[in-house]
Amino acid sequence: MITVDHESSTPLVAQIHASLVAMIDSGRLRQGTRLPSIREMARICKVSLLTVTNAYNRLVAEGLLEARRASGFFVPTRSGRKASARGLAITDASVDSGWLLHRVFQENSTLLPVGCGWLPGEALFADGIKHALGSIARKAGAAFSSYGNPHGYLPLRKQIVALLGGHGIDADEHQVILTHGASQALDLVARSLLAAGDTVLVDDPGYGNMFPALQDLGLQLVGVPRTQEGPDVDALETLITRHRPKAFITTTTLQNPTGTTATPAVSYRILRLAEQHDFYVIEDEIFADLLVKPAQAMASLDQLRRVIYISSFSKTISPSLRVGFLACPVELAERIVRLKMASSLTTSETMEQVVHAILVEGHHRGHLTRLRERLAAAQDNVCDRLEATGLRLFHRPAGGMFVWAGFERPLDPKVIAQKATREGIILAPGYLLRPDLAPTPWFRFNVAYAHHDSLYRFLDRVAREVK
């Protein structure tokens, strides 16, 4: 009925849970079916009674099982089945961006989020947050009782100016606006610069969550192919001539999902094209701090004339803080602040003070060094293991979170993603990260989660099935 791998790094509770979920979703366990008793299931799986109890209780909480007093556990009938926190069954769901987001954001999910876009909690700076919150709580001030400044907490903006200076970007605090993460920064910039019907160039592949948000603004998205050296500048020039874009949104460093970093020569050519054809470059640099050897940002070449620089602290401190920022020309900053006030008044000064305290306290730099080294080592290991299972790499990144890899032979990525989910693994098929959702054989792997043996057993099995 259920096969449990006692040598796997996946917890036994999670294995039993995932197996039963797959059987319920596929219909192999029909409505009204009575499951084996806890004692019998423990005997079948060769696990403890507590392990089975925890797995059954989790399924009851999700509405996938029904506990009947003195009778046992049953698959509920559809009319009596509770709404499940898991959402649609994988066999019924379309593998789209909503499917991916729903599963990787599930609270207490038992799935291994190999395709997600963030770091696990243990890699972030929880100790720094705790210390900063304690420090702020001991001070009298308005952090807990006021809206704050529309531009954002001034001491943090000044600190960001210093950080930008370290990247060769000359700015002052009037050019820096704090935002509710990089996502709000992108939204504010887009709504300040662009209008429905405008054409915007984007990385292809790129940040999949951004594409529907831009399309909802009525913008026409055109993908610029990504190469190992950054955006394909020859293709970019052709697309500019054809579409007359108002902006190009791109990532220079450790791009999501390819892990590539644009060379200085590519950045120079992009800036020349922006000047020649009169469009803005929106540089999304949220991964720059993860690069072992710093790269040159486009904004440092342009000094915030045509480049709008966006970043956040979500990838290195914690995504729960939701503190991002943008830096741009002063006249544009004023327009963006007015729009920010109209949509959200201000951002959280409490969280901004937390980030400021972490940056000035002194241990953040050491945390970044350890994080970079950890991710660089994970990159080497994951790239080696992916190649050993028969996948090919688009590029070997110099650090960061992502590897872009695909099978040598053509396979249906939806089918692979569905099979993986039934085994407790969430993959990110590459077409979800393209502006037009065009087919592609590539997948995004997050190296911080891709160390489990169960992942490579699955990939190896898929690769052997098509030989």
Q: Are 207 and 133 members of one domain?
A: yes
119-169 pLDDT tens trace: 998 899 999 999 998 888 887 665 567 788 999 999 999 999 999 999 999
Domain termination residue (choose one: 310, 334, 361): 361
Structure tokens at 236: 């970019």
Closest CA to 397 of 297, 298, 291, 263: 291
Q: Are residues 136 and 112 in the same domain?
A: no
| Residue pLDDT, tens place only, 386-440 | 999 999 999 999 899 999 999 988 788 989 998 998 888 999 999 999 999 999 9
Residue 3: pLDDT above 50? Answer: yes
Instruction: Give pTM, 2 decimals.
Output: 0.79
User: Do 336 and 378 belong together in one domain?
Assistant: no
Phi/psi of residue 83, each to 5°? -65, 125
CB atoms within 10 A of CB 341: 13
**Based on the number of CB atoms within 10 Å of its own CB, is 109 exposed (0-12), middle (13-18) or buried (19 or more)?**
middle
338-359: average pLDDT: 94
Are residues 236 and 287 both part of a single domain? yes
* Co-location of 70 and 146 in the same domain: no
Q: Which amino acid is at 441?
A: P
Domain span holding position 135: 126-361
Name which of 20, 16, 17 is nearest 29 in CA terms.
Answer: 20
Verify that 379 and 356 share a domain, yes or no.
no
φ, ψ for residue 231, nearest 5 deg: -60, 145
The predicted pLDDT at position 84 comes to: 41
Distances (CA, A) of 365 to 153, 290, 361, 369, 419: 21, 11, 10, 6, 41
Token code pair at residue 31: 């409505």
Model confidence pLDDT, tens digit, residues 243-253: 999 999 999 99
- The answer to whether the CB of 112 falls within 8 A of the CB of 10 is yes
d(CA 205, CA 432): 9
401 in Cβ contact with 446 (< 8 Å)? yes
Q: What's the CATH code of the domain at 407?
A: 3.90.1150.10
Structure confidence by residue, pLDDT tens digits, 276-295:
999 999 999 999 999 998 89
- Number of separate domains in the chain: 3
Would you place residue 327 in the very low, low, confident or very high pLDDT band (cuts 50, 70, 90)?
very high
Same domain, 347 and 414: no
How far apart are the C-alpha atoms of 37 and 340, rounded to whole Å?
57
pLDDT, tens digit, 9 for 90 and up, residues 66-119: 888 888 999 998 644 443 434 334 444 455 555 555 455 454 456 789 999 999
Residues 349 and 439 in one domain: no
Nearest CA to 223 among 198, 206, 244, 210? 206
Asked whether residue 255 is assigned to any structural domain, the reply reads yes
Say whether both 178 and 204 belong to one domain. yes
Confidence of residue 13 (pLDDT cuts 50, 70, 90): confident
User: Residue 385: which residues within 8 A CB-CB, separation 6 or more?
Assistant: 450, 456
Tokens of 171: 């700015």
